[in-house]
């Protein structure tokens, strides 16, 4: 059984008739698996995971058939029960480490808070454990950093602290929401290395939300590609990169500089992601798709499973040859 199993998750802002930001998403993560969610800004990647964490406030509405995590349906949980899981078995790190730490409290306090909340550790015991955690995330001179305030740390250091906070209670699933986007390029690789190392050591599930396909290729086992709130392709790692089955995935891969050597310009997809009010009647990609057919303009394709994963397309690419 998978660690996380999301069935038909939708998130809307406003009333039930509002266009969903996340639309009928199915997703699963196995124990110890690294799943990457990729897609453009506003495609609903972060919102999906925020919904799982219970961080969507009114006027946001979360609905799903189930949000199964480690045997419990997160959707049915109320306040206190949810908080026994969130931050403990299920934890999250965010995009901007400089604003994600509370400026008024020391690093030590903010880590010990988690230890107190979920492991009942206090005083010296919590201090010791926090110190170990800082060591674990490879912060130099950890002992002196415990009393530092977030504004005294660099971005990379802050993200390490955020990671220490997130793994403090040994989660079964860690969600990393673009953990390197706000950091210097030189730091990005270090942080990714740290995350993957921790994931292997603790055998925890990792959901990696990112724009960076190179990172995905190196770290993830499976990928979910999202477009306009929907999963358009789900597949395993080397295959998806070698032979994408959805036109949007193909377009994303073509936009990687390494893939377009010799070309004068990067290949890009014309047009923009449809907004809330200008959704096409048919496939959401139809206005931009280079392979568009008449049917694509009339009907929305379902996410259909095929031998290498699933694609939300009537005419999936790179399949027929192998099937035939």
Where on the chain is the footprint of another protein (CB under 8 A)?
53-55, 79-80, 82-88, 91-92, 94, 96, 99-105, 113-114, 117-118, 149, 151-152, 162, 165
- Closest distance between another protein and the C-beta of residue 145, in Å? 14
Instruction: Select from 9, 51, 23 the least CA-distant residue to 276.
Output: 23
- Closest distance between another protein and the C-beta of residue 292, in Å? 32
Q: Name which of 148 and 256 has its Cβ closer to another protein.
A: 148
- Closest distance between another protein and the C-beta of residue 307, in Å? 37
- Closest distance between another protein and the C-beta of residue 149, in Å? 4
Task: Report how far residue 79's alpha carbon sits from residue 45's, in angstroms, rounded to the nearest whole number.
Answer: 24
Q: Name which of 84 and 129 has its Cβ closer to another protein.
A: 84
- Closest distance between another protein and the C-beta of residue 84, in Å? 7
Q: Name which of 156 and 309 has its Cβ closer to another protein.
A: 156
- Closest distance between another protein and the C-beta of residue 13, in Å? 15
Neighbours of 24 (CB within 10 A): 17
Helix, strand and coil in the chain, % to nearest 5? 40, 20, 40
- For 21, the 3-state DSSP assignment is coil
What is the chain's alpha carbon radius of gyration, rounded to the nearest angstrom?
A: 21
Q: Are 175 and 90 in contact (CB under 8 A)?
A: yes
Q: Name which of 41 and 268 has its Cβ closer to another protein.
A: 41
Residues in the chain: 324
Task: Report how far residue 151's alpha carbon sits from residue 113's, in angstroms, rounded to the nearest whole number.
Answer: 19
Q: What are phi and psi of 245, to 5 degrees?
A: -105, -15
Q: Name which of 37 and 101 has its Cβ closer to another protein.
A: 101
Q: What are phi and psi of 274, to 5 degrees?
A: -60, 140
Q: Name which of 20 and 87 has its Cβ closer to another protein.
A: 87
Task: Report how far residue 12's alpha carbon sits from residue 298's, in angstroms, rounded to the nearest whole number.
Answer: 24
């Amino acid at each position: 059984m998978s660690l996380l199993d999301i069935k038909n998750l939708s998130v809307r802002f406003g009333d039930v008739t509002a266009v969903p930001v996340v639309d009928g998403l199915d997703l699963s993560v196995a124990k110890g698996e690294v799943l990457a969610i990729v897609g453009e800004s506003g495609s609903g990647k972060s919102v999906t995971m925020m919904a799982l964490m219970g961080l969507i406030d009114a006027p946001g509405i979360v609905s799903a058939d189930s949000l199964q995590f480690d045997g419990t349906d997160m959707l049915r949980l109320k306040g206190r029960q949810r908080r026994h899981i969130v931050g403990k078995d299920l934890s999250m790190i965010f995009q901007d480490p400089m604003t994600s730490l509370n400026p008024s409290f020391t690093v030590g306090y903010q880590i010990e808070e988690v230890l107190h909340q979920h492991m009942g550790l206090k005083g010296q015991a919590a201090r010791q454990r926090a110190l170990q955690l800082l060591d674990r995330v490879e912060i130099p001179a950890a002992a002196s950093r415990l009393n530092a305030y977030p504004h005294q740390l660099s971005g990379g250091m802050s993200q390490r602290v955020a990671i220490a906070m997130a793994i403090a209670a040994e989660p079964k699933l860690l969600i990393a929401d673009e953990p390197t986007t706000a950091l210097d390029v030189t730091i990005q690789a270090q942080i990714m290395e740290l995350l993957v190392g921790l994931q292997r050591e603790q055998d925890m599930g990792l959901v990696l939300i990112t724009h960076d396909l190179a990172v995905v290729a190196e770290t993830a086992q499976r990928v979910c590609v999202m477009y306009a709130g929907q999963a358009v392709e789900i597949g395993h790692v080397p295959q998806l990169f070698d032979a994408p089955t959805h036109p949007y995935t193909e377009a994303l891969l073509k936009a990687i500089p390494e893939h377009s050597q010799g070309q004068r310009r990067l290949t890009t997809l014309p047009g923009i992601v449809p907004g809330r009010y200008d959704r096409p009647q048919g496939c959401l990609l139809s206005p931009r798709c280079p392979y568009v057919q008449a049917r694509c303009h009339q009907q929305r394709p379902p996410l259909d499973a095929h031998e290498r994963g699933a694609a939300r397309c009537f005419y999936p690419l790179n399949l027929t040859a192998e099937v035939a």
